[in-house]
Structure 1
Amino acid sequence: MKNISNVTEFILLGLTHNEEMQKICFVLFLIFYLIIVLGNLLIVVTIIFSSRLNSPMYFFLSYLSFIDICYSSVTAPKMIADFLVEKKTISFIGCIAQLFGVHFFGCTEIFILTVMAYDRYIAICKPLHYTTIMTKRICGQMVAASWVGGFMHSMVQTLVTTQLPFCGPNEIDHYFCDVHPLLQLACTDTYVVGIIVVANSGMIALSCFLILVVSYIVILVSLKSHSSEGRRKALSTCASHVTVVILFFGPCTFTYIRPSSNFSEDKTVAIFYTVITPMLNPLIYTLRNEEVKNAMRKLWDRKLISSGKTRM
């Protein structure tokens, strides 16, 4: 399809047109974004500098937290800045870059969450083989495959979108550039492209979600043979992961499993997987995990001791 676009920029309509609400949203989402960056950065630093958090579970968790920072940074800073301006514009190149970033980090996070479920399955259902299966090399390969998978998915979404002609209008009823709002602005029939988008995005989200559901059903069944203490610890760890999966996969599946539409609820739903879930992840994984909390306390005590020696 020959690209005959004459649109050089898009106008983002944002979350609300009410000026008072925009001021409130600016403060609220700025706080949310700071929590996302600081909370997830704290988890990454804690896992890197703690000798006790060296299991594959925390290796994957550190990458999940890093991806959450990157994922939110693609959309949140632009959204926050737009609350202070009347005309919310983004260049064509900037829009495509944002589209690529959202799908790259979002899809990578989906694969990392799936890998984390596999890790828990091996740890609980095959504990005697855990160390031989989940080696550092295998874990590294899984993370690398997640990044490659996210990149390939994002490239498909970006390429099919950039091949579309955009002749105007150029108003996007969203707070960031996503594939569905852009399909609605294309001045050509986007039925085939829409099918590709649903097959690419929706099926990845749905298939990974089904894999996660099956893996946790198997885990729950296998827990019957565990001791009460082992069962409690396993359920605590799995509950955190299941909570994150529901918060992230639910809105994602709702958005991408269906064809392009002009649902105004889409941008409200998108808040959950671009802002709310990355913000809650550090709280979910730390409040229910004594090992992470203890590691954070030790790092804090070590910092206080080192700062006290420096002053002396």
Structure 2
Amino acid sequence: MAKQGISTGAAPNDGTGDTLLNATLKINANFNDIYDKFGDGTNLVSFVSFASTAGYSTNAGIASTSVLAGTASSVTGDISINTTGVITSQFANFTEGMIIQESGTPVDTTIAVGFAKTIFRIKDGFVGIGTSLPTSQLQVTSYSNERPTIHAVPKSSGHGLQVSDEVGTDDTAFVITSSGKVGLGSTAPTSKLVVSGDAELIGVTTHTGMSHLNGSITEKVVNNFNTTLTAIGGTLTVDVNQGTVLLGGLTTSVSTWSFINVPTLNSKATTVTFINDAGQSSTYGDACSVNGSPIAGGIRWVGGNPPPATNQEDILSFSIVRDGTGLTRVYCSSSLNIS
């Protein structure tokens, strides 16, 4: 409704102005329109306040006829807030939180808003970028099949991105410098990746180039020295995925060695160490399979033949080598009768 002005006439009591009744009707109509647009008809609902009207501008105004809490509303033009203006949103008055979306055909029918893509949303303390239904404290979703991208651009030569842990003494959990170097536990990485502290790698790790180790490398150990091992049907199965150092004592002889979950990358090698603390003599066979495929020629033993098992500790070191064509061979050296 357009604002209704009260005609005061040209001179006092000249009879050309509005009557007292018409004037009060216009006043009531103006107030009713305000309470309808910014309230429920009886009470005003305050959900947005501006500390400075100079900081707010709109090209086309509010297009919706209602701005009640939880009710869809839209701005068909632009909203800009400059440095002199402050906007405060009382989210408690919103049943659907705060939503900023692009105009277009709705793609999320669960939200009664005439927009297509959700640019930003706050709901129940969760923040969504590219999604209207965030399920975590921060969720970034891409509109297309491409992965969502986050760009952290520093203003100076400082960190491009830093994630800090305020609990304990480790105040820098993750850092990406402006030059693209990554630090885990390090605020000033000097290489592409610097890890300050312990690291555990699970799965296949491919390395190309030179490594400089200023510490030690440890392998995962499976079982205990007194673990009883049985070659079922003469076959001892070694699961490389569980660990590359196998402990135990054989109660039966081994005719076939079965290595499973071995990485299948060409031009790679895997080392497995078996420490047999049997306390009794067994025999070692040379038949072998890798990931279920028999290896032609079996184990290639140092010396040409399987070593004689002893009733002391025997250490067998296997090298599973896969060349560039995928051909796999298994080699083994041994240290026997250790006491």
Pairwise same-fold verdict (TM > 0.5): no
Structure 2 length-normalised TM: 0.16
Q: Between Structure 1 and Structure 2, which shows a larger proportion of strand residues?
A: 2
Q: Between Structure 1 and Structure 2, which shows a larger proportion of helix residues?
A: 1
Structure 1 length-normalised TM: 0.17
Structure whose CA Rg is larger? 2
